[in-house]
Amino acid sequence: MDFKGFDHPDRQTAGGTRSVKVMIAGGFGTGKTTLVRSVSDIKPLTTEETLTQASVDVDDLIGVADKQETTVSLDFGKIGLNEELVLYLFGTPGQERFWFLWNGLFKGALGAVVLVDTRRLASSFRAIEEMERQDVPFVIALNVFPDSQDHPVEEIRDALDIPENTPVVTCDARDRNSSRDVLIALIRHLKERSDSALEPR
Amino acid sequence: MSGPRRPTDPPGLERYYVLTGGRSGPGGSASTLDVATLIISRAAAETGLQHEHEEILRRCRDPLSVAELGAHLGLPFNILAVLLADLLDAGRVEARDPIPASGAGRGPDLALLEEVLSGLQRL
């Protein structure tokens, strides 16, 4: 077997490279793309999925012409963690009602960050609900905007009805180190969950 | 006669229909593709292949995620998945799905989480 013209079939870099993914969720305008941009090694890109709403059984109810097309976009970035492991960050589409149409959007993700704008708590309710429903482990990151009031974390935990064992951290999504720390908080949380899952009962 | 791609290529749905030969979703090997799945070329981008197939083989000499491929080629995920299915079935590319935090019956992957953590801490 001779692959003529295929210059490096055994290139080492392709050797064992694998990927992991983390979802960045939250309501519209909470800073998902900002966070992806600040921590990514590459300029964030956008990938799309074209969804045919004919698969959703609502057309007859509202009498709209069938086969409406909807495009759902994911902004994403990547971080080279080491020579053989790449982390992809995907900002979820703002319209949570379309999430279920993108099959397996959260499947295979290590976990998720749910960004919250403390000036508009309600905008992230739906994202939190979806994480719980799809059983995706997550941390809450309060994105501190310049005119955000100083809310004690516990007050916000109560308002959003976040379980005690789900971490709530604050961040500035524009800042690389701050965004990285949110990801670190997520991975630590995943490890702690693992530790407690491994403990004998 | 196949000249370079012109801006007069059919737009939107028409173009996708042509690209995929009318298929709307991948079957078999590509049905588990994820946006974070890495694609790696396993064959040369020989001439005579469909333009998009050739382009995929060229871009994936180094591992590239399905999401990046979609962004670079300007193709939505489901259309790209159909093209990737062709290449997977022909053994021209390899697909590596993202590693989940825990595998079926294998429990949480602590070594993986540790690796991710130390990578992030080095940033």
Angle between helices A32-39 and A176-198 (to 10 degrees): 100
Looking at residue B18, its pLDDT comes to 73
Q: Given CB atoms, is B48 within the 8 Å cutoff of chain A?
A: no
Looking at residue A63, its pLDDT comes to 39
pLDDT tens across B57-110, in order?
A: 999 999 999 999 999 999 999 899 999 999 999 999 999 999 988 765 556 789
Record: contact A45-B71, CB cut-off 8 A: yes
Domain with B53 in it:
12-121
Report the share of chain B in percent with pLDDT over 90.
54
Could you tell me if A133 and A99 are in contact, meaning their C-beta atoms sit under 8 angstroms apart?
no
Q: Which of A168, A88, A186, A177 has the alpha carbon at shortest distance from B99?
A: A88
Q: Which residue has the higher pLDDT, B74 or B14?
A: B74
Looking at residue A133, its pLDDT comes to 86
How confident is residue B48, by pLDDT bands cut at 50, 70 and 90? Answer: confident
Q: Name the residue among B38, B78, B113 with its Cβ closest to that of A50.
A: B78
Residue of B nearest to A9 (CA): B42
Q: Which residue has the higher pLDDT, A67 or B115?
A: B115
Each domain of chain A, given as residue ranges in start order, spans 17-198
Torsion angle of the four alpha carbons A30, A31, A35, A38, in this order, in degrees rounded to the nearest 10: -160
| Strand pairing report for A109-117 and A18-26 | parallel
What b/e readout covers A88-119, taking b as 16+ CB neighbours within 10 angstroms?
bbbbbbbebebbebbeebbebbbbbbbbbbbe
**Is position B33 within any domain?**
yes
Tell me the pTM: 0.83
Q: What is A17-198's CATH topology?
A: Rossmann fold (3.40.50)
Which ipTM was obtained for this model? 0.83
Looking at residue A5, its pLDDT comes to 39
Q: Given CB atoms, is B116 within the 8 Å cutoff of chain A?
A: yes
- CB < 8 Å to A8, chain B: 61
pLDDT along chain A (201 residues), means of 10: 41 73 92 95 88 49 50 90 96 73 79 94 90 91 87 90 94 97 97 75 52
**CA separation for the pair A142, A166 (Å, rounded):** 13
Nearest-Cα distance to chain A for B1, in Å, is: 23
**CA separation for the pair A68, A101 (Å, rounded):** 14
Three-state SS at A94: coil
- CB < 8 Å to B11, chain A: none
Looking at residue A104, its pLDDT comes to 74
Q: Provide the greatest CA pair distance for chain B.
A: 55
Start-to-end CA distance of chain B, whole Å, equals: 50
Supply the DSSP symbol for A122: G
Looking at residue B29, its pLDDT comes to 55
Looking at residue B20, its pLDDT comes to 77
Q: Which residue has the higher pLDDT, B3 or A137?
A: A137
Record: contact A184-B120, CB cut-off 8 A: yes
Amino acid at B83: L
What b/e readout covers A141-150, taking b as 16+ CB neighbours within 10 angstroms?
bbbbbeeeee
pLDDT tens across B51-63, in order?
A: 999 999 999 999 9
How confident is residue B41, by pLDDT bands cut at 50, 70 and 90? Answer: very high
Number of domains making up chain B: 1
**CA separation for the pair A180, A145 (Å, rounded):** 17
Start-to-end CA distance of chain A, whole Å, equals: 56
